[in-house]
Amino acid sequence: MAYPPSPFKFVQAAAAALNQAVAEGYHLKGHPTRPAAVTRAKALTDHQSDSTLRIRLRTAQALGLVPEIYVLSPAESAEIERRYHASNDTDFRAWVLAGRPGRVASSPHGEIALAGLNAAPAPAAPAATAEPPTAAERREILRLNEHIRRLEHQLRGGDENAAIIEKGMSLLGLLQDNPRPPPDWLLDISHKPDAPGVPVIDFGDWHIGETVLARETFGANDFNEEIAEKRVKHLIERVLHLAFHHVATPDYSGAVLVLGGDFLSGQLHEELLATDWCPPPVAAAWCVAHLTRAIAEFTRAFGRLVVVCVPGNHGRLSRKPWAKLAATACWDHLIYKMLEQNFANVAEVTMLVPPDGEQLIQIASTRFLIMHGHELGVKGGDGIIGALGPIVRGATKVGRQQRSLGRDFDVLLLHHFHQDLWLPASGVIVNPTLKGYDEYSRAQRYRYEPAAQRLFFVHPVWGCNSPWAIYLQPPMSREPHPFVALPSAAAPIAGVL
């Protein structure tokens, strides 16, 4: 009778898998100080002697990849080998053959352990009558165990989630190119010379999900789900009110809605993870619902709508910023693609979701580059002028880059800085934030600005004009005080108008 491969060979196969784990573990976990150990482990892969087996297993232990390993001594290996071939005990043979990498178990015949990979839960010993697995089956078990371990490792690391989400989205067919080009009317409104121009409604930095407390911001701001709901409703109403009741000739060919990114908190930092009112998927669904309502209302009011969608940094899926997949591995992108699906059959709505995260577009006679603003390629700031220095330096750098690519523009439309800057003559506009003043602003000693978004117009002759900040909170006001006064505990500023 021909015996199946010995358990010792089984142990050797486990060690070969270990080598792979060592090499990949080194790469994934990044142990730059131990290249020699890994090189040695790799070099030993093809040698299956008893001594090299021990070296490989100990190398893996040293790298912290295999927390529980029991290394067979030569005597133990010989004992398994001898008893396996000598015994007709089917229980014993089934136990040996069912042994998985990492299993340290008691056999019905005493304490004998198998070396292997991470200590996994031991499977139930097969019944005595069970057919032992074939050599091919055991190899497949090893391969699958290793595959599972790698997937678990990926799931533990946030960076790898980006690729997983990306793959999932492509499976859903959400990553196709923009189905429609920008419409011609963006460039041609000359038949209405006394019209105010093309309305541009700029939404961004909503940070849905984040909690801001007035008691932690000198009474300046509260932000939660209820207040976000009120602000978005007020915002949509005010845009329509200003565009149609504060303009003498509200005769529009259509409007542009900019979605400038950072629509959800994204739990990018530990403090957000601890205090956000909801996780990113819930926030994304919230944003899709409310933006769908906004797009529908604006399309009905203005007749046609171009929606420019650029992603921010708070929705990214990786812990650190990535250059690759920077625009698509982001919750904002998922929101935009769902909006695109919602309006796929509405001819009056054109969605632009650039896969590189920046949209070049000409509105009337002005060429805009629209982006979130976290990738300006500059750092630093100044305690006095705040973000103005980096913004202007960044705009200069972006302009030089874009000219070299044949993508010249007149105005850079930014978000991200949570600051209201209207400098179109200098080529920069920065949109304020719906979330408003927060604990970070307090800690960084930033100047207070009420939560706001912006509506402005682009005239074919006069370019950017009529900027209206749509305030969602009142300004901080100073009450007349007696000679000596303390700030009131509950300032009336928090919340919404």
Ranges within 313-332 binding Fe ion (CB under 5 A): 313
Indicate the SS3 state at residue 465: strand
How far is CA 479 from its chain centroid? 43
Nearer to Fe ion, 146 or 210 (CB): 210
At closest approach, how far in Å is the CB of 416 from Fe ion?
Answer: 4
Helix (H) or strand (E) holding 350, with range, is: strand 349-352
User: With CB under 5 A as the contact rule, which of the stretches 81-89, 198-206, 391-399, 405-413 interacts with Fe ion?
Assistant: 198-206
As measured in angstroms, the least distance from the Cβ of 328 to Fe ion is: 17
- The H helix count followed by the E strand count for the chain is 13, 13
* Comparison of 117 and 310: residue with beta carbon closer to Fe ion: 310
- 262 makes contact with Fe ion (CB under 5 A): yes
- For residue 438, give the DSSP letter: -
- Give the residue nearest to Fe ion (CB): 262
Q: Which of residues 2-31 bind Fe ion (CB under 5 A)?
A: none
Q: Which stretch binds Fe ion (CB under 5 A): 84-92, 259-267, 292-300, 385-393?
A: 259-267
The stretch near Fe ion (CB under 5 A) out of 59-67, 79-87, 171-179, 260-268 is 260-268
Q: Which of residues 293-312 bind Fe ion (CB under 5 A)?
A: 312
User: Closer CB to Fe ion, residue 100 or residue 418?
Assistant: 418
Q: For the packed helices 35-43 and 7-29, what is the interaxial angle rounded to 10 degrees?
A: 150
**Is 171 strand, coil or helix?**
helix
The interface with Fe ion within residues 126-165 (CB under 5 A) comprises none
Of 7 and 312, the one with the shorter C-beta distance to Fe ion is 312
- How many C-beta atoms lie closer than 10 Å to residue 236's C-beta? 21
Q: 3-state DSSP call for residue 126?
A: coil
Cα separation, 266 vs 414, in Å, equals 20
Contacts of Fe ion in 39-58 (CB under 5 A): none
Answer for which of 146, 166, 202, 205 binds Fe ion (CB under 5 A) is 205
Q: How far is the CB of 310 from Fe ion (least distance, A)?
A: 11
**Cβ neighbours of residue 358 under 8 Å, at least 6 residues apart?**
310, 369, 370, 371
Give the separation between CA 296 and CA 286, rounded to whole angstroms: 16
Distance, in Å, from the CA atom of 457 to the CA atom of 272, rounded to the nearest integer, reads: 36
Residues of the shown chain interacting with Fe ion in the complex, contacts defined by CB under 5 A: 205, 262, 312-313, 416
